[in-house]
Structure 1
Amino acid sequence: MSHDVLSRRTAVWVFVAFASAYFLSALLRAITATLSPTLTLEFGLQARDLGLLAGGYFLGFSLTQLPMGHWLDQHGPKKVVLSFLGVAVVGCLAFAWATDFGGLLLARVLIGVGVSACLMAPLTGYRRWLVLEKQQRANAWMQMTGAFGMLASTLPVQWLLPVIGWRWMFVGLALLIVLSMALMAWQVPKWRMAEPPAATRTPAKPVGILASYKQVWAHPYFRSLTPMGFFNYGGLIAMQTLWAGPWMIKVAGYTSLEAATGLFWINVCMLVTFWIWGLVTPMLYARGLNANKLMTYGVPLNFCVQIYIVLAGADAGALHWALFCISSSFVSLAQPAVGMAFPTALAGRALSAYNLVLFLGVFVVQWGMGLMIDGFKTAGWQEPQAFQCAMAVFFACCLVSYGYFLKHKSDS
């Protein structure tokens, strides 16, 4: 569909518009790691509460993925993302006004629902608006924008906390989302429905949302990547946006400021990592190193880092968590690869279905880590050892998922 490919200038503005929203969604995703000491103190939270609160965002995110993919293919990125972001504004204001844990959790779920189109909408648009070799680059640089957002959730939030308080931060974030919506309304083109080939053009029968995903669920390549998306990729986000912070405080003995500084540098590393992926991915693909090969050879590096973190305990600090995140980034190649494995008309549903797997994984890992930490403490383990045991269980899940990918990827 070459007639849909955007000019360079238009493509840049479209990218900036979408990136502004994704920046804010990533900031909101990761902010709980920095705010965890404050919220724990103010609301008396246990590890399981903290995990559920952080995971509430991803639960809200997951709830919308199937209908959203259907709507993206039907109505296009612009209309869908603007509708969803209105919910995010309400969620931010609700979080700012919350007076108990229940209010915080409900607001967090609303925020997750509201920003759930911020990556899938542009990826669906890029599938049509950018030439094939530019799609992996655009995805990597969207991820880099997300790393900027997570960067902003660390030291800047820690510095602003005593100045304006966390409640006014969320009011400010609501206003920034409104500005991002205005930019998208101005710059993002309208969506034209893809015309089926004349030979296959028949009156369409109404299809339910779940039924419309049948081709996606049945695809061997999609299935081969599902466990790694759930545990390995979901775990990367779960650790980066929550558990790396508490580990540095509870296990490695960092202060709140030191932990926020550690998170800042972790996110700097991820920003640089995704920038590099954006630069080198087209060249690697041209040399025959596709997503499958890169994940096959790259994911074991992450396992080496995980083993060190589990065994080192208090000696595993910000540097090792940065290495964990960098070495986990190989699994991010799966997302655009899934989109490119399907025809354009199914791209939105394929990407959203994979996003559902991914963010359900984040929710399960974030809350599951909290439950395991509390459970091991109840069983008599000291808190640092409880963290290590929970991390060991997570590692085992990642290892099994990678084995499943190796076994089934050749079927795709």
Structure 2
Amino acid sequence: MQVDGELGGQPNSIANQADSDAQPSPNEGARTKKVTVQLSESMFQRLEVATEHQGLGKSMVVETALERFLNPAPPIEGLVHEAMDRISGQMARLEREIAIIAETVALHARYHLTVTPPMLPSGQREACLLGQQRFKVLAEQVERRVRLGQPLIQETIDRLGRRSRPTSEAHGGASERAAEEQPRKEGLSAVAADGNSEPSAAVEGAAAIQTFETCPTSFVRPAATSVRKELGSQTLPVARVEPVPVWRLIACVFLPFAAGYYLSYLFRTINTLIAGRLASDLGLSAADIGLLTSIYFLVVMAAQIPIGMLLDRFGPRRVQSVLLAVAAGGAALFGLSTGFLSLLFARAIVGLGSAAALMSGLKIIVLWFPRERMALINGYMIMLGSLGAVTATAPAEALLDWIGWRGLFGVLAAASAFAAILIYLVVPERTTGPEGTRTPATLKTVYSDARFWRMAPLSATCIGSAWALQSLWAAPWLSDVERLDRTRLVNELFVMAVALSLGALVLGFLANWVRRRTKKSEALFGLVAAMLIVAELVLILHPPWPSLLPWCVLSMAGSATALTYAIIADYFPAELVARANGGLNVLQFGWAFVVQYGTGLILEQWPLEAGHYPLMAYQTAFGVNVLLQMAALAWFAAVPWLERRKRKTGASVTRQPAGGWNSVDVVIPPAELAILEADDHAEW
């Protein structure tokens, strides 16, 4: 294209210098036309200056300017927006991948923290060495994967995608899989032949799996059932927990053991209703009645530790079914007894048969139900069991008027035998895992734990006292102090039993609420103990208003086992829970025996006044008990303060009494077989 210019309105012909200095235009080779344009003098001079360089012609400059003018570049805002969109997409993908990594690490950590068995200090050094060995293998695998640039997750997804192809492609894909398998095998051979060769990620992954298989597996805890999963040419065990419908858990697991605990509670409290009939029929004194009733607690206390070991060894189904059959025999013998010694022996057999009722129920809850719901389910168990105390009031009174106390124990014997058969035939068996995968733990672990000894004195003096007073001495107190007739006395006992049952439910809900927010139930238990002490002080002072309210508070305190057993389950692993609960029950039932029998001995120090013991006798007996409870509560509240003070001074956290026990610092994670969030299981 040629350019002609005019100055001052006169056309000035500008010779085209393309012959000597103009380079071909961008459209060289295309058809060109001559165009005459007019430029201002300043523009013409700028064009002259721009084309002074050799190889740059006026036609090229003008054509390039026209090209830019006629086809303008996109605005800079559009380019910026396009770049930002691209960067945003990359950041979103990066954020998603980071979230996947974080969730994977969190789930993996929670899995190991949940299923890892407890470890005593004696085995920690060996565990650390094993952990270092495994970590070294893990680091080597990560280094290989990063170096080879093939992510394990993507490789697994690709492999699973190939396996999920339709059956119609099976024949066509067989040759491809064979072709893929052959290089993998060759790669393994090449690695064996040449140590300098670089194996593929899949080959090194298989080798790493073999390396892990050579390491000890003392930290691996399989679930109750397992399946086999293929990985390349390896076949590895993979733990699997089959979900169980809630209705089956309730009907076949929870309710049979609740029925057994119901019968044990009925046996425990029935003497408060039949004490007068036994005294009149067989000529028993207050001390005889106290010993006859408290022998139940003495036998239960003595049987707790052996039964706890049996529960951990054989499971709650077999142990509870056998013991309920023993209780049935004891109840039948009690109904046939004609003297104090035979009654005492039969009552002891009933106590032995009922000794595992509560512990077996707590053990089955640990085995089958989520740990975060344990306090609530314990509350349900104790609520249903405490209905036995409700039955031991007005309903049992009606049966006594109809068939007498001997016929009543015949009915209880038949009901116990039926419950034993039901538990043995209906309840499924479940264990906490193979013996070889557990870290050895004994009863010494329980009794050497400082947390246990912080709670045990308060639990024994409060819960044991509530059991003893509500199951025996409430009726004599109402008769001797309040001077109630038989009808009103039975009605108030009924209200107290209902308070006991509802208290278990309320405490279960409160414990579940507290554990969701603070993960601590100890403070709630301390509050219940303080309320019990206040209620007993009201009974001792005997103000001029009805005593039903403090007696109801005292009855509700007896259901605080919904808290203590859930706390114990947090302290110890599943395979040790029964023995830990047994260790606590030794103190609780033992103190109940002391309170029942001791109260009878104290009352006999005062003479009867018109067939009733005086108020002073009850005030003395109850006062001694309250003083010990206040000392236990002070110890319960002081231990955390002492621990904080020792931490500040750099001393040991654990307090060692003069008696000489030493604390064992055992980090014990939860021991569920299934790891569930609150929303993982729709049925929860």
Scaled by the length of structure 2, the TM-score of the pair is 0.56
1:53 pairs, out of 281, 288, 292, with: 292
Q: CA RMSD in A?
A: 2.3
- Residue in 2 that maps onto 1:396: 627
Query: Is 2:557 aligned against 1:335?
Result: no
- 2:308 aligned partner, one-letter code: G
- Residue in 1 that maps onto 2:540: 310
Query: Is 2:404 aligned against 1:173?
Result: no
Deviation at 1:331, TM superposition (A): 6.0
Query: Is 2:257 aligned against 1:18?
Result: yes
C-alpha contact 2:504 2:562 (8 A) present in aligned 1 = no
Instruction: Report the secondary structure of 2:431's partner residue.
Output: coil
Q: Give the distance between the partners of 1:314 and 1:82, measured in 2 at CA.
A: 49
Q: Give the distance between the partners of 1:69 and 1:303, measured in 2 at CA.
A: 30
2:369 pairs, out of 130, 133, 149, with: 130
Residues 70-90 of structure 1 show CA distances to partners (whole Å, capped at 9, x for unaligned) of 111111000111111121011
CA shift in 2, pair 1:409/1:334, >3 Å: farther
Q: Give the distance between the partners of 1:314 and 1:373, measured in 2 at CA.
A: 23
Q: Give the distance between the partners of 2:377 and 2:562, measured in 1 at CA.
A: 13
- 2:629 aligned partner, one-letter code: C
Instruction: Report the secondary structure of 1:405's partner residue.
Output: helix
C-alpha contact 1:75 1:191 (8 A) present in aligned 2 = no
- Residue in 2 that maps onto 1:149: 388
Instruction: Report the secondary structure of 1:177's partner residue.
Output: helix
Query: Is 2:527 aligned against 1:297?
Result: yes
Q: Give the distance between the partners of 2:383 and 2:516, measured in 1 at CA.
A: 22
Percent identical residues: 28
- Residue in 1 that maps onto 2:552: 322
Q: Give the distance between the partners of 2:480 and 2:487, measured in 1 at CA.
A: 13
Residues 164-213 of structure 1 show CA distances to partners (whole Å, capped at 9, x for unaligned) of 00001001111011111122122211133523675x78xx8xxxxxx931
Q: Give the distance between the partners of 1:165 and 1:368, measured in 2 at CA.
A: 29
Q: Give the distance between the partners of 1:4 and 1:292, measured in 2 at CA.
A: 34
Instruction: Report the secondary structure of 1:160's partner residue.
Output: helix
Deviation at 1:398, TM superposition (A): 1.0
Residues 371-396 of structure 1 show CA distances to partners (whole Å, capped at 9, x for unaligned) of 11112449xx9622211211111111
- Residue in 2 that maps onto 1:362: 592
Query: Is 2:345 aligned against 1:106?
Result: yes
Q: Give the distance between the partners of 1:293 and 1:127, measured in 2 at CA.
A: 22
Deviation at 1:17, TM superposition (A): 0.7
Residues 134-191 of structure 1 show CA distances to partners (whole Å, capped at 9, x for unaligned) of 2111111111012211000011111111210000100111101111112212221113
Instruction: Report the secondary structure of 1:375's partner residue.
Output: coil
- Residue in 2 that maps onto 1:70: 309
1:87 pairs, out of 284, 304, 326, with: 326
Q: Give the distance between the partners of 1:217 and 1:296, measured in 2 at CA.
A: 21
User: Where does 1:166-245 land on structure 2 (aligned, <5 Å)?
Assistant: 166-192=405-431, 194-195=433-434, 212-245=442-475
CA shift in 2, pair 1:276/1:348, >3 Å: same
C-alpha contact 1:302 1:328 (8 A) present in aligned 2 = no
- 2:598 aligned partner, one-letter code: G
Deviation at 1:297, TM superposition (A): 3.1
CA shift in 2, pair 1:245/1:18, >3 Å: same
- 1:11 aligned partner, one-letter code: L
Query: Is 2:508 aligned against 1:270?
Result: no
Instruction: Report the secondary structure of 2:270's partner residue.
Output: helix
Q: Give the distance between the partners of 1:338 and 1:396, measured in 2 at CA.
A: 26
Deviation at 1:289, TM superposition (A): 6.2
Higher helix share: 1
Instruction: Report the secondary structure of 2:542's partner residue.
Output: helix
Q: Give the distance between the partners of 1:160 and 1:32, measured in 2 at CA.
A: 14
Deviation at 1:301, TM superposition (A): 2.1
Residues 96-120 of structure 1 show CA distances to partners (whole Å, capped at 9, x for unaligned) of 0111111111111110100111110
* Larger CA deviation: 308-317 vs 119-128: 308-317
Number of residue pairs matched? 401
Residues 44-78 of structure 1 show CA distances to partners (whole Å, capped at 9, x for unaligned) of 22221111111011112112111111111111000
Q: Give the distance between the partners of 2:613 and 2:301, measured in 1 at CA.
A: 34
Q: Give the distance between the partners of 1:221 and 1:4, measured in 2 at CA.
A: 35
Uncovered stretches (5+) of structure 1, i.e. residues with no partner: 205-210
* Larger CA deviation: 388-397 vs 287-296: 287-296
User: Where does 1:342-357 land on structure 2 (aligned, <5 Å)?
Assistant: 342-357=572-587
- 2:462 aligned partner, one-letter code: N
- Residue in 2 that maps onto 1:8: 246
- Residue in 1 that maps onto 2:130: none
Instruction: Report the secondary structure of 2:400's partner residue.
Output: helix
- 1:10 aligned partner, one-letter code: R
C-alpha contact 1:266 1:321 (8 A) present in aligned 2 = yes
C-alpha contact 1:140 1:277 (8 A) present in aligned 2 = yes
Deviation at 1:329, TM superposition (A): 4.5
Residues 330-358 of structure 1 show CA distances to partners (whole Å, capped at 9, x for unaligned) of 46511221122101121111011111111
- Residue in 2 that maps onto 1:207: none
- 2:425 aligned partner, one-letter code: W
Q: Give the distance between the partners of 1:265 and 1:282, measured in 2 at CA.
A: 26
Q: Give the distance between the partners of 1:331 and 1:18, measured in 2 at CA.
A: 16
Q: Give the distance between the partners of 2:263 and 2:243, measured in 1 at CA.
A: 27
CA shift in 2, pair 1:354/1:409, >3 Å: farther
* Larger CA deviation: 24-33 vs 4-13: 4-13
- 1:78 aligned partner, one-letter code: R
Q: Give the distance between the partners of 1:331 and 1:346, measured in 2 at CA.
A: 18
Instruction: Report the secondary structure of 1:290's partner residue.
Output: coil
Instruction: Report the secondary structure of 1:119's partner residue.
Output: helix
